[in-house]
Amino acid sequence: MAAFDATAQSVECSLTWQEIINAAKAIRDRNPSATHVFGVPSGGIPVAALTGLPVLTPDDLDCHDLASVIVVDDLVDSGRTLQRYADQGYAVDAIVRKPHSPAHLAPLANIVDGWVNFPWEKTTGPEDAVVRLLEWIGENPNREGLLDTPKRVVKAFKEMTDGLHKQPRDVLGTVFNETSDQMVVVRGIRFSSMCEHHLLPFFGKCHVGYIPDGKIIGLSKVAARNIFAKRSKHMCRPPALWPGPPKGASRATMRSN
């Protein structure tokens, strides 16, 4: 039984202390052989304290039998952090995991498909990640020119990845009957996408053509299919601006440059 109902969250989820307490107790209950707990710094520390088990420090960790220790974190995302402990033989668990998280890490944790806010974080939201990145490169996020940068970066990322939350059927709901079998071509459709390796934007134009098979769509709807570009892509792979012909069309082609 999930400690909180966040499975359907797709954008942002803010957890309450009571939800976290319930989730921490669930971690303890599903790891009955654990007699001690270690919290991964820093998000795992409050989780460890709330399990009700004796909490170990890093210095204490090596002094206990592996089978008696559970290592906990607040969130499993890529899994790199908890995997280091799992590789050493420790049982690992967490309050929250993402749908794409490794299946063997905290498989019974609550699934949240979006940004998670924990009450112990001094600032919440993706803006904080931008602040930390600025600090990491040696910048001062409090100087005048950077005060609004985190907010601007988050807004830009939302715009560049807008296609993640749209589907072609939302755009191509209307088609028209057509008896012509001449190719319909729309040239010079501008698109922008994001490199999935570096999270930097790249730009181009594409040309779309299809042969109607009793149905056509409006020209503006062809251009609207660049919602597929508004997702992170490999730069050497053309964005899937044209995932297939409209229903009824016999063949479609796409070329990008």
Owner of token pair 């420790």: 90
Structural domains in the chain plus CATH codes = 12-117 (3.40.50.2020), 126-160 (no CATH), 165-256 (3.30.1130.10)
Burial of 32 (C-beta count, 10 Å sphere; 0-12/13-18/19+): exposed
Residue 134 · residue 187 · CB < 8 Å:
no
Cα(211)–Cα(184) distance, rounded to whole angstroms?
A: 6
**Interval 206-223: pLDDT, tens:** 888 888 888 888 777 765
Per DSSP, the three-state class of 189 is: strand
Residue of higher predicted confidence among 6 and 101: 101
**Interval 37-76: pLDDT, tens:** 999 998 999 999 999 999 999 988 888 889 999 999 999 9
Residue 37 · residue 14 · CB < 8 Å:
no
Cα(98)–Cα(165) distance, rounded to whole angstroms?
A: 17
